[in-house]
């Protein structure tokens, strides 16, 4: 089953794992923006990592993973919801064909935010971006912000993203260290082609065939964007009448495009006026859907 995440546990050891593979979800992200190749890889790896980390957290709503810097790669965002939907977007300037992770993400910070269904923020952790890639960045995040030892391997190509996570649960005793190290070492032998190309259950069996592993049922994941006309309306209302009127005066209409799914929401002067009068549309002009 593609586009799913599977949990696994090591019997008798406080170690848990998650393995994810996404293809239709990833292609839905790539179809919506023409990302430069280097950025595509990082965003894909971040999407896999985000699905893995969100599966280890208990939350209702959305987990937002954001990396923001002053280098050519200005912003990477991946959102996973507790309903198993994902979306992603990025902002960038000219990206060189070849550049290291640190060069692309100068002075960057990585933030993970939990947003409740009503839109309020319930948690945020922020760390400086260190390391030479997405996996290293997030292992550092987990160690410093969550104090949980995490081993993460992620991979992305033009059609698929995949990842493997191991976590040493907080109740782990010191005498579990050897087993934790051995399991991490085994995970580290996985090739990107295996992670991307084999069925997740086969990857787990192949890597840990000498361990007693319990593999759970796959949980489906899918691309979905939560933008809506109502949300755009409330955003414009918050901008205020002056801002909206100045755009109307310049362009004759207000158009807002969703960064995640590229969908456009267009407001003519009549629609825009209704935002601030609280008026309801006449039945003939109702376009809410």
Nearest to 14 by CA among 147, 187, 260, 179: 179
Stretch that binds Zn ion, among 51-59, 128-136, 210-218, 222-230 (CB under 5 A): 222-230
Secondary structure of residue 239 in the 3-state scheme? helix
Does residue 179 contact residue 10 with C-beta atoms inside 8 Å? yes
Does residue 20 contact residue 51 with C-beta atoms inside 8 Å? yes
In angstroms, give the least distance from the CB of 150 to Zn ion: 30
Binding of Zn ion at residue 223 (CB under 5 A)?
Answer: no
Structure token digits, residue 260: 């995640």
Binding of Zn ion at residue 29 (CB under 5 A)?
Answer: no
Binding of Zn ion at residue 86 (CB under 5 A)?
Answer: no
Contact pick of 86, 112, 227, 275 for Zn ion (by CB under 5 A): 227
Backbone dihedral region of 284: left (phi > 0), alpha (psi from -120 to 50 degrees) or beta? alpha
Count residues near Zn ion (CB under 5 A): 6
In angstroms, give the least distance from the CB of 288 to Zn ion: 16
C-beta of 179 vs 263, nearer to Zn ion: 263
Binding of Zn ion at residue 265 (CB under 5 A)?
Answer: no
C-beta of 142 vs 258, nearer to Zn ion: 258
Backbone dihedral region of 262: left (phi > 0), alpha (psi from -120 to 50 degrees) or beta? left
Contact pick of 10, 26, 180, 260 for Zn ion (by CB under 5 A): 260
Q: Exposure of 122 by Cβ count < 10 A (0-12 exposed, 13-18 middle, 19+ buried)?
A: exposed
Binding of Zn ion at residue 267 (CB under 5 A)?
Answer: no
Q: What angle do helix axes 269-277 and 229-239 make, rounded to 10 degrees? A: 70
Contact pick of 261, 267, 271, 272 for Zn ion (by CB under 5 A): 261
C-beta of 15 vs 227, nearer to Zn ion: 227
Binding of Zn ion at residue 164 (CB under 5 A)?
Answer: no
In angstroms, give the least distance from the CB of 87 to Zn ion: 7
Does residue 63 contact residue 112 with C-beta atoms inside 8 Å? yes
Stretch that binds Zn ion, among 14-22, 166-174, 176-184, 225-233 (CB under 5 A): 225-233
C-beta of 227 vs 256, nearer to Zn ion: 227
Binding of Zn ion at residue 47 (CB under 5 A)?
Answer: no
Q: Exposure of 47 by Cβ count < 10 A (0-12 exposed, 13-18 middle, 19+ buried)?
A: buried
Binding of Zn ion at residue 256 (CB under 5 A)?
Answer: no
8-state DSSP, 135:
H
CB atoms within 10 A of CB 158: 11
Binding of Zn ion at residue 10 (CB under 5 A)?
Answer: no
Binding of Zn ion at residue 77 (CB under 5 A)?
Answer: no
Residues that bind Zn ion (CB under 5 A): 225, 227, 258, 260-261, 263
């Amino acid at each position: 089953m593609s586009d799913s995440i599977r949990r696994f546990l090591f019997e008798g050891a406080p170690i848990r794992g998650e393995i994810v593979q996404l293809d239709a979800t990833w292609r839905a992200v790539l179809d919506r923006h023409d990302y430069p190749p280097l950025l595509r890889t990082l965003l894909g790896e971040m999407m896999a990592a985000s699905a893995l980390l969100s599966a280890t957290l208990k939350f209702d709503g959305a987990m937002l993973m954001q990396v923001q810097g002053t280098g050519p790669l200005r912003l990477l965002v991946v959102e996973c919801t507790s309903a198993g939907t994902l979306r992603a977007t990025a902002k960038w300037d000219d990206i060189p064909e070849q550049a290291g992770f640190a060069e692309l993400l100068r002075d960057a910070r990585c933030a993970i935010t939990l947003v409740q269904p009503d839109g309020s923020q319930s948690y945020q952790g922020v760390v400086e971006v260190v390391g030479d890639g997405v996996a290293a960045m997030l292992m550092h995040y987990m160690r410093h912000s969550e104090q949980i030892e995490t081993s993460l391997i992620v991979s992305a190509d033009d059609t698929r993203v995949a990842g493997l996570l191991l976590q040493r649960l907080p109740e782990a005793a010191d005498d579990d260290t050897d087993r934790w190290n051995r399991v991490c070492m085994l995970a580290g032998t996985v090739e990107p082609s295996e992670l991307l190309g084999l069925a997740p259950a086969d990857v787990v069996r192949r890597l840990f065939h000498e361990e007693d592993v319990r593999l759970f049922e796959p949980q489906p994941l899918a691309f979905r964007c939560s933008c809506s006309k109502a949300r755009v309306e409330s955003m414009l209302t918050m901008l205020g009448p002056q801002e909206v009127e100045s755009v109307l005066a310049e362009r004759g209409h207000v158009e807002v495009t969703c960064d995640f799914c590229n969908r456009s929401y267009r407001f003519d002067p009549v629609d825009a006026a209704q935002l601030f009068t609280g008026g309801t549309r006449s039945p003939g002009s109702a376009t809410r859907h």
